[in-house]
Amino acid sequence: MAVTIKQMSLLVGTLGVLSFIFGVVAENKKPAAGTPIPGKSGVICKYPSDPSVVLGYLSTAFLFASIVAGYLSLFYPYKGKYVPHSVFFRSTSFVVFFNIALFSGGLGATLLLWPTITEQLHLSHNVHNSPDAKCLTAKTGLLGGGAFVSLDSSLFWLVALMLADNAREDYFEELEESREGLDGQEYDGPDHLKSSA
């Protein structure tokens, strides 16, 4: 079964929405701080149940899947018809949205990974030698911001896919017109075309 543009756009959109949902839930489930428990030589931080690390990694994974699917969807040979990449990059609009989609995908991944890794480090290194240590968590708002940028990234991939589809149609129309223009011509050697009429 051949893959269609509608199927690819649905895949890119679904992956982007899943990344968004996991990112927002991770932001909402992240605890504000841990509870410091004084010990003999410092402080032990006790954190409540924190699924934000797992949810943050899931959100990042779906974002990367959306980026890969978005990129592949642009250049996939639909109906077995290959289009040279240079055809797409002739369009200024396509170049702009392609670069915005790449940039927003990278920014979204940064905003998701940074607090997720930070939170994981806080949870795993919860013993502090200083008696004044605070039981911090990752910066609030980054996971939610990353979730929104992830959704934006998938939307930019969808716009780039629409522009790529337009470029693909224009390319095949130009090919068809050039074939029709040669229908009344007969090729006679490398130097000239002779009319068959």
Q: Which two tokens stand for residue 131?
A: 């008696």
Specify the pLDDT at position 197: 41
Q: With contact defined as beta carbons under 8 Å apart, do 58 and 112 qualify?
A: no
The CA distance from 155 to 40, in Å, is 53
The pLDDT-based confidence of 1 (bands split at 50, 70, 90) is: low
Euclidean distance between CA atoms 159 and 151, whole angstroms? 13
Polymer length in residues for the chain: 197
> Which of 80-84, 99-103, 135-139 has maximum average pLDDT?
99-103
Among 102, 63, 147, smallest CA distance to 94 is for 102
CB 168 within 8 A of CB 83: yes
Going by the DSSP 8-state scheme, the letter that residue 189 receives in this structure is: S
Phi, psi of 184, deg, nearest 5: -90, 10
- Kindly report, residue by residue over 103-162, the tens digit of the pLDDT: 999 999 999 999 999 989 888 888 877 777 788 888 888 999 999 999 999 999 999 999
* Token couple for 31: 């605890």
For residues 91 and 86, what is the distance between their CA atoms, to the nearest angstrom? 9
- Among 160, 163, 166, 144, smallest CA distance to 102 is for 160
Would you say residue 194 has pLDDT above 50?
no
**How many CA atoms lie within 13 Å of 7's alpha carbon, on the beta-carbon side?**
8
Mean residue pLDDT across the chain: 86
CA distance linking residue 103 with residue 92, whole number of Å: 17
Structure token pair of residue 36: 């410091």
Instruction: Look at the pTM and tell me if it is higher than 0.85.
Output: no
